[in-house]
Amino acid sequence: MFEAIASASTLGDALDSVSVLVDECKIRLNEDGLAIRAVDPANVGMVDLDLEAGAFESYDADGGVIGVNLARLEDIASMANADDLVHLELDEETRKLHIQMDGLSYTLALIDPDSIRQEPDIPDLDLSAEIVVEGAQLSRGVTAADMVSDHIRLRVDPDDEAFLVEAQGDTDDVDLELSREDLIDLKAGGADSLFSLDYLKDMNKAIASDAEVTIELGEEFPVKLHYGFGEGLGNVTYMLAPRIQSD
Amino acid sequence: MGNAALRDIAALQTVSWEEVAGSVVAIDAHNWLYRYLTTTVKFTADEAYTTSEGDKVANLVGTVTGLAKLFEHDLTPVFVFDGGVTELKDDEVERRREKREAAEERLAEARDRGDGVEAARLSARTQRLTSVIHETTRELLSQLDVPVVEAPAEGEAQASYMARRGDVDYVGSEDYDTLLFGAPETLRQLTSSGDPELMSLAATLDGHDLTWEQLVDVGILCGTDFNDGVDGIGPKTALKTVRKHGDLWGVLDARGAHVPNGDRIRSLFLNPPVTEDYAFDTDIRPDVDAAQAYVTEEWEVDPDAVARWFDRIEEATTQTGLDDWT
């Protein structure tokens, strides 16, 4: 059993954060809220999302799992205005999701959850640095790096207490240095890892510019990017595997 | 190359690349290389892989093409090269040589006629693994940090042995003989464009209620690289008669038939010459720039024929996966 009413913007934010990585996902309809965990087919980027029951106008579920085509669901959700309410109801018999908003109703055929990639295990990470930064700052670094390279290096200089975003192209280089004053918070530790911009760009798209992003970073380790949405009742954690740095 | 009659007996199942991702595969190097060599020759212009001294190194193009594919599917290859040719295989080697010579004659004729299509087709058939091909393939694999194991005799036998010891997850070969060599699981079609096919020894034996020894006997009755089959025995008859008479000798007695060197052929599958003296590192860190220079500068391969494959190798081997941390 599942029936819920959510604001179109909260629903849209949740779907966007997952659809940048995968086309299909399982949604866990837990009693205390929705949960989605998915990894891209190459096993490089993962998303772990929780949307608490409190983020909905009303929410009623008893722990089922549904499989959805995200592009379809996003298309439907985009038919609503940001402050419209979207009504969702699962028909257990037909395995379809009824979606209604402002007079428009849509019946979405669900996907067999068993046919969707297994939900990944969360990697066990030892990340020594934690940087809290505004979404807009991170976005600036990603956009600038993308002008010169396919890869982006994120590191923390523990002595200077600064977060550094760097990219080296064939001819041009980009450096963005954010000192403690530029950041919301910094727990400095030795951290230096290289990432594919293809993935980071996509993740960055889902992060609002005024979001507080917590970046957990290690030495040649995956990075964790964490941010909240839906007035703090929604939480997204991205994990992105590093590239091997050549000397 | 093995006996396709075994296909009727083998337990085969199509698997997705995802299911086998992350595994280590002992690849029958000759089998693999030969396939890429023939496709390269068919689809790439001669000039792209012929040096100014006339050496043809289509193997270098084929190897980078094939490696990119393996790496992108997150498979770690260990290439197992043949050692000496087993004496009993002389007939098979001779047969292949005759075929090739016939193709070479027709190739010359096709070229004289100016029939480019037929020439390309025949030229793919006349490929042989020359010493230049052997040396340059090994050197390229070494530059790309891909592990290589030298078998004392048959590469398939050595690869199957490594899989039986659990040192690799699968054998990679198109040849059904790996079943007879006792490989627990063989991945076929690693070189084709679709999904791979998994061949399981245990499922094959269970399915036909046979022991491994009996399966080898079935193989010998149908014919192997080392012997011609017994006249009038196909896979179905072989299965039935081995189950009825227990083993090869029982069947031969009952039929009054003879398989030359039957004893030796049997033990070539059950106890082939293999070595346990091998070691390999599955953490592959290729020096792509050096490998690319080796191929395009030292062996004068047209950079355009290999550039994108090298890019893909680089991309696939420098990006880690989250599963490395779980």
Which whole number is the average pLDDT over B266-274?
Answer: 94
- Cβ contact A142:A190 at 8 Å: no
Asked whether residue B297 is assigned to any structural domain, the reply reads no
* Residue A16, domain extent: 2-115
Phi, psi of B146 (to 5 degrees): -90, 125
DSSP one-letter string for B53-98: T--B-HHHHHHHHHHHHHHHTT-EEEEEE--SPPGGGHHHHHHHHH
Strand partners, A238: A47, A225
Task: Tell whether A117 lies on the interface with B, counting CB pairs under 8 A.
Answer: yes
* Residue B146, domain extent: 1-206
Which residue in B18, B285, B326 is closest to A123 by CB distance? B326
pLDDT of amino acid B21: 87
User: How near does any CA of chain A get to the CA of B326, in Å?
Assistant: 5
CATH of residue B217: 1.10.150.20
Same domain (yes/no): A134, A100? no
The set of residues, in sequence order, having a beta carbon less than 8 Å from that of B29 and lying 6+ positions away, is B79, B80, B81, B82, B137, B148, B155
Give residue B121's pLDDT band: very low, low, confident or very high (50, 70, 90).
low
- Residue that wins the pLDDT comparison between B324 and B206: B206
Which of B232, B252, B271 finishes a domain?
B271
Write down the residue that tokens 């997952």 correspond to.
Answer: A18
Write down the residue that tokens 């199509």 correspond to.
Answer: B14
- Cβ contact A140:A230 at 8 Å: no
Determine whether the interchain pair B326/A124 forms a contact, defined as Cβ–Cβ distance below 8 Å. Answer: yes
CB atoms within 10 A of CB A93: 6
CATH of residue B78: 3.40.50.1010
Task: Determine which of B20, B311, B320, B323 to mutate to test the interface with A (most A C-beta atoms within 10 Å).
Answer: B320
Give residue A41's pLDDT band: very low, low, confident or very high (50, 70, 90).
confident
The mean pLDDT value of chain A amounts to 94
pLDDT digits (tens, 9 = 90+) for A189-236: 889 999 999 999 999 999 999 999 999 999 999 999 999 999 899 999
Asked whether residue B238 is assigned to any structural domain, the reply reads yes
Asked whether residue B14 is assigned to any structural domain, the reply reads yes
pLDDT digits (tens, 9 = 90+) for B105-120: 877 787 788 777 777 6
In this predicted structure, which of B144-153, B177-186, B227-236 has the lowest mean pLDDT? B227-236
Determine whether the interchain pair A122/B18 forms a contact, defined as Cβ–Cβ distance below 8 Å. Answer: no
pLDDT of amino acid B183: 97
pLDDT digits (tens, 9 = 90+) for B123-180: 665 666 678 888 899 999 999 999 999 999 999 999 999 999 999 999 999 989 999 9
Which of A115, A147, A176 finishes a domain?
A115
- Cβ contact A206:A236 at 8 Å: yes
Same domain (yes/no): A9, A92? yes
Asked whether residue B318 is assigned to any structural domain, the reply reads no
Which whole number is the average pLDDT over B263-273?
Answer: 94
Asked whether residue A80 is assigned to any structural domain, the reply reads yes
Q: What is the ipTM of this complex?
A: 0.89
Give residue B241's pLDDT band: very low, low, confident or very high (50, 70, 90).
very high
Which of A115, A139, A166 finishes a domain?
A115
pLDDT digits (tens, 9 = 90+) for A66-88: 999 999 999 999 999 888 999 99
pLDDT of amino acid A242: 96
Which residue in B21, B317, B322 is closest to A241 by CB distance? B322
